[in-house]
Structures are given as structure tokens and as C-alpha cells.
Amino acid sequence: MIYESFKRLREETPNASAFLIASGDRSVAINWRQFTDDIDIVVRLIREYAPGAKIALLGENSYEWMVAHAAILFAGGTVVPIDMNLNAPEIAQRLRFVGARALIYSSLYEEKAKDVGDQLPGVVVAGFGSLKTERFLDKVRSFFTLKDSIWSNRARVADNEMTSMIVFTSGTTSEPRGVELTIKAIETFIRSSELSVPMNFGERSLMLLPLNHIYGICVAYMMLVKGVALGVCPDFRRIYDAFERFRVNFAFLVPALADLIASKIAKRGASAEEALGQPLNWICTGGAPLARRTYEELTALGVKTLCAYGLTETCACFSMSCTKDAPHPCSAGKASQLLEVETKVSPEGELMIRGPNVMKGYYKRPEKTAAVLDDEGWFHTGDRGRIDSDGYVWVEGRASRTIVLSSGKKVAPEELEDKLMLLPGVLEALVSGEGESREIKAEVYASVSEEAVRQIIGEFNLTLPVYQRIHTIVVRKEPFARTTSGKIKLEAAKK
């Protein structure tokens, strides 16, 4: 589907915009002809010098990153996206673990990439995003004839069921694992999501989700397949400018950016249309739960707010809100409506999924794979939840985070966190159980004084059942450290 869609767009609408790049105060378009030409040349380089290789990508969201990713897929290689926040030894460890033959990096991370190269002499380290790169690719084009193009009628493309990506999980506590995924898994996400959210050829959006995470990768391909022009926004501090500059119709983003855009819009108008000069039809958040407060702010600004739920192991596919349905605030959206994707809740209350989107396994970790993928092909998400009569999924928290009190009663920390986030001044909250009695502890970051926080939570406690009441309150001076997908790093929070 991805290859066929790219080929069709190249042939039928070669001059239509595939990407939009900021240049000064202007927006410069890259059309489908150039995008697919650039993919073509990189595919041929890979097939010539690194056939079937595992190739790591390190860089901010960019046009070049997407060219490289698509080229590795179509060339039959395996993409290994790398988190930009990792240091050089951590990156080297991951490349060594998967047996990567090359690291492709953006110019912003040249120093870090060269440090990795020093640690791994056998790995080819090459950069993109500079005039030198453009001159090199222009020179290389002269060595290939038109008949060798991957867009010709007799072109060879990768098997969509082979391992095409090894994506490391963005877990908040455990050691990241390399998840083996296929092109078919991405295509399953696309077909599933098409049933929930409308997109039309020629509409505009942004690449806002980090491309080293599976949700960002899948969403980018979904929008490209539909002919949506993608605005490149590598600096999230200028997100509002990007919404204005590229005249965005809709967007996928993490909750932290949803908070930011809601705040920016509210300061500039009574609605998104007034603030941005045109309607923002909808946004869809994923990667972490969206706070009820943000949902209400965006709704008041006339922005339909959707949510999506999935894991790296399910290629981001489990559920997504449907724009045609009545709002289901704070749900995780409607379970996939594809016939080949099955979802259910186990007798123990765990969300489970089976289908072509599910990972092949954890790379070189058969025992870890067997712990979550059963003999019938069901993936055990590790998340507690339910699926209501309308097919909407409600995630109630990680099974591993459930607090079992000395009395035997169970408390879902996520439920208390959601309620704390609605209290005046509370910006972030993390709930846990401490000591042998597992009494409830809340760690919060707030915009009001510590004295005010303690008084507010004290009053809140009186509304709770006795066993759910917060015993210890810790007021932070700084926000929690988070993963690039917006989740609080639980291990860092304990320190």
C-alpha cells in the first residue's frame, strides 16, 4: 500500500506538495516528484553498498529523515530509529546489539554521531541536511540510469512481511527492547486509522510526533499515503508559528504539545479559527493520556479533540477516536474496526490484541517475547482496561503500577493522578504506594505555593474513600523528566 500509493501520487500528481519547509517568512513546497526522486536515489545507494543492512537513523523531524526511512524500507533494509536524547555510549550499545552497519544522522547531531563512530569503527557514519549532502546526491544520480528506478514497472520492492524496523520501546521503567515490525504492520495502522479520521488530498498537517517513536512514523506514512502535505516543524518551541505558517487543517501530537497549543490559541482569540485565521478541524493525541483540563480547553476553543492508544509492540494500533461519533472524553478511542485486527479484555482485565500489526517479537529476546505474546498470537499489553458497548477503549492504567494496600484493596494510581490534575494549580502528578502498608503517596508539580497545594489536596482527600486517601504529599520544584513521547520517567521520579 505505501509503495503503491507513493508511486500513484508520483505519476498522477507529481507537482502536488508532499512537504512544506519553512524558509525565512515563507513556506517552500517539496513536490511528490522530488520526494520520490530522492527516495529512489537513496534506495539505489543502499542496494549498491549495504544490501539488506540494518541502518540506524538519528535526527530531529525533517524531510531528509523521512526520505531515508522510506528508502531503507523500499530497499529491503531494516530501519533502527534512535532517540535523540540518548548519549553516544547508549547509541553505540544499541547499534552493537542489533548489528547495524550504518548510522545516518542530521547535521545537528554530528558531534554525537562521530563519537559513536569512534566507538564502532566498523559502522559507516554519514550525515544529511547540508549542502554537501545535496551535492553528493546530485553527483550520484549521474551513475544510475532511468531504467533502474524503483518506480519503474518492473521494480523490486521489499517483502512487506519481513522485519523492516527495529524500534526500541520508550518504556518508563524497564530496559528498552528492540521491537521487530513489518511494513505490513504500518499498513495495518493506516487502514485501521482511515476508518476513524477523515483526511483529504491537499489538506495540510505537521510532523509533530517524534519520528523515532512508532506512533510518529505510522502517522507520517498515513498522512503521506492520503496526499496530505506535511509541514516540517523541528523546533517545537515554535509550534504555534508552524500552525499559522502552514495553515494546518488537523494535527497529531503528544499531550504536552496539545497543552501548549491550547494555551497559545487561548491567548490570541476566543477560538482556534479566530486565533489562527482558519479552522483547526481536529487534533489527535497519543503517546500518553490527555488531561481532562486540556480536553475541555480545546473543546471550548472549537477544536474537536481525539485520542489514540497503542504500543510499540502493536505498531501504534489498538484504538483511535472516531470523528463521526459523539465525544467520549478521556477514552482511548474506538477499538480497531479492521476485521483482521482483534481486541479483547482478559478475565483479569488486561487489554489484548491480535493481528498483522502485532510485532514479530523482541529482537534477540525470545524469553521476553514469550512473556507477552501467547501461542494463539494474542499480545498482552500489560494495561488494565475495558471496552464498552460502543467499542470504545478505556485504559485504566498499567497492571504493574496497581497499588495493593495492606488491607488487600487495590488502587489505580492513574485514576488518582487524573483527579489531582483537575485541582487548581496542579500541573503534574505522580501517585505511588510506599512502605510495607503501601500507603498512597502523591508527588506533584504546581503553579501555586506548597502550602496551597497541601491545603487543596487535604480538601480533595475528604472526597475520597478512606483507603484511597493520600497519606504523603511531595511538592516538586521542577517538572518531571519525561520520555520523548510525553510519559513521566518513573525511575527518574523516584530519585
Name the DSSP letter for residue 60: S
Q: Whole-angstrom Cα distance, residue 114 to residue 392?
A: 47
The yes-or-no verdict on residue 140 having pLDDT over 80 is no
Contact 169, 81 (CB under 8 A): no
Instruction: List pLDDT tens digits, range 342-392.
Output: 999 999 899 999 999 999 999 999 999 999 999 999 999 988 899 999 999
Neighbouring residues of 6: CB distance < 8 A, sequence distance ≥ 6:
32, 36, 39, 70, 224, 225
Mean pLDDT check: name the lowest of 139-148, 236-245, 457-466. 139-148
Q: What is the mean pLDDT of residues 255-281?
A: 90
**Model confidence at 236: pLDDT above 50:** yes
Average pLDDT over residues 165-172: 79
In terms of Cα–Cα distance, which of 492, 197, 150, 151 is closest to 337?
Answer: 197
What is the average pLDDT score of the chain? 88
pLDDT of residue 155 exceeding 70, the answer is no
Instruction: Mean pLDDT check: name the lowest of 185-189, 431-435, 445-449.
Output: 431-435
Which amino acid belongs to residue 41?
I
pTM above 0.85, yes or no: no
- The more confident residue out of 418 and 167 is 167
For residues 158 and 164, the answer to whether their CB atoms sit within 8 Å is yes
**Environment class of 26 (CB within 10 Å of its CB; exposed 0-12, middle 13-18, buried 19+):** exposed
> What is the predicted pLDDT for the residue at 27?
83
Of 132-136, 167-171, 420-424, where does mean pLDDT reach its minimum? 132-136
Separation of alpha carbons 35 and 232, rounded Å: 14
Quick one: average pLDDT of 232-249? 84
Angle, helices 450-461 vs 413-420, to 10°: value is 120
Q: Is the pLDDT of residue 154 over 90?
A: no
Give me the pLDDT at residue 144, please.
67
> What structural domains does the chain harbor?
1-158 (3.40.50.980), 197-400 (3.40.50.12780), 402-494 (3.30.300.30)
Contact status, residue 48 vs residue 92, Cβ threshold 8 Å: no
Q: What percent of the chain has pLDDT above 90?
A: 63
